[in-house]
């Protein structure tokens, strides 16, 4: 309101100057130097350009801050749901570690089975010939055991292996995750290790009952072990991803808040300087009228 009144007063003084009313009121002509200075002043609206720019920037930053806060809330909600599944899935594959152990397996030329587009884009630069199978669009639907079982079934039909090394990020906290390698041996390698007296955990302490042979039991254990390990790896990686999203969106929201504080300070200073200039002009005009 005060700013609008100041603008009206300045326009009134400008109209009086242009019509020669001030000359009639004072009884003396307006000094030529003053008239020359008045004509060189910019239009009144130009003083508000900087404040308008800052105000538009503040609106933009506020909008960005709302978006980042909303994205943080979405990531937090997804993280809670996936974290519960990941904790439960650890009970599936951990018994296999005690049964067969997480041994390194034989060293051979590696072949890659890539899940997700980001890993594929990285490996295609240097190891495109070593990619045996690529599976995308894994994260579009909620991860479940049936989905991973079908994925492993497709993998077993197209890829021959002695050992499977699953590389993933194990979730520790929102700001921390650990790169982890989990190894699953094929049934043939497990049987050879067992026959040669290798250390395979508690497997040899169990007796096989029924019509199934030891090779068939090992084959079933190996396939189920891959499914359980991969299911846990997918959930752990999804937790790590959502945690990283939460951390990034929280940092973005705080940065937007700091930027908004700086813009508000700049806006207030610019507005105060504009008001001070307007008051000075009004006082100078009033002094000219009385002088």
Comparing 265 with 193, the larger pLDDT belongs to 265
Summarize pLDDT for 4-50 with one digit per residue, the tens. 444 555 455 444 444 443 333 334 443 443 333 333 444 444 445 57
| Predicted local distance difference test score (pLDDT) of residue 196 | 63
The one-character DSSP state at 229 is H
Q: Which tokens belong to 144?
A: 């479940």
pLDDT of residue 37: 39
116 Rama class: left (phi>0) / alpha (psi -120 to 50) / beta: left
Q: Which of 14, 208, 193 is nearest to 101 (CA)?
A: 193
Phi, psi values for residue 5, rounded to 5°: -65, -40
Radius of gyration of the chain (CA): 37
| Cα separation, 207 vs 256, whole angstroms | 64
Separation between Cα atoms, residue 176 and residue 158, nearest integer Å: 35
What pLDDT is recorded for position 207? 73
User: Which tokens is 176 given?
Assistant: 């921390």
pLDDT at 204: 61
Query: What are the tens digits of pLDDT across the range 154-165?
Result: 888 877 888 888
Least confident of 125-134, 147-156, 223-232, 282-291: 125-134
Dihedral sign computed on CA atoms, order 239, 174, 241, 72 = positive
* 108-145 per-position pLDDT tens digit: 778 888 887 777 777 877 777 878 777 776 666 778 88
């Amino acid at each position: 309101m005060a700013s609008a009144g100041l603008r009206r007063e300045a326009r009134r003084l400008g109209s009086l100057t242009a019509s020669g009313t001030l000359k009639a009121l004072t009884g003396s002509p307006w000094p030529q130097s003053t008239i020359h200075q008045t004509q060189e002043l910019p239009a009144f609206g130009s003083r508000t350009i900087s404040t308008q720019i800052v105000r538009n920037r503040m609106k933009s930053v506020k909008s960005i801050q709302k978006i980042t806060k909303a994205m943080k809330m979405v990531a937090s909600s997804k993280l809670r749901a996936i974290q519960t599944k990941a904790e439960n899935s650890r009970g599936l594959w951990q018994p296999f570690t005690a049964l067969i152990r997480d041994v390194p397996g034989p060293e051979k030329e590696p072949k890659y089975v890539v899940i997700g587009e980001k890993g594929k884009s990285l490996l295609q630069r240097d190891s495109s010939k070593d990619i045996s199978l690529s599976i995308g669009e894994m994260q579009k639907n909620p991860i479940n055991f049936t989905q991973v079982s079908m994925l492993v079934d497709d993998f077993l039909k197209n890829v021959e292996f002695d050992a499977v090394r699953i590389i993933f990020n194990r979730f520790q906290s929102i700001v921390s995750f650990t790169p982890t390698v989990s190894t699953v041996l094929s049934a043939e390698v497990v049987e050879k290790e067992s026959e040669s007296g290798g250390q395979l955990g508690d497997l040899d302490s169990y007796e096989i009952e029924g019509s199934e042979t030891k090779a068939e039991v090992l084959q079933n254990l190996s396939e189920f072990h891959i499914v359980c390990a991969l299911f846990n790896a997918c959930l752990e990686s999804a937790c790590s991803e959502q945690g990283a999203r939460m951390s990034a969106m929280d940092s973005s929201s705080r940065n937007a808040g700091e930027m908004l504080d700086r813009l508000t300070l700049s806006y207030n200073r610019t507005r105060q300087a504009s008001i001070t200039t307007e008051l000075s002009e009004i006082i100078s005009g009033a002094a000219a009228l009385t002088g």
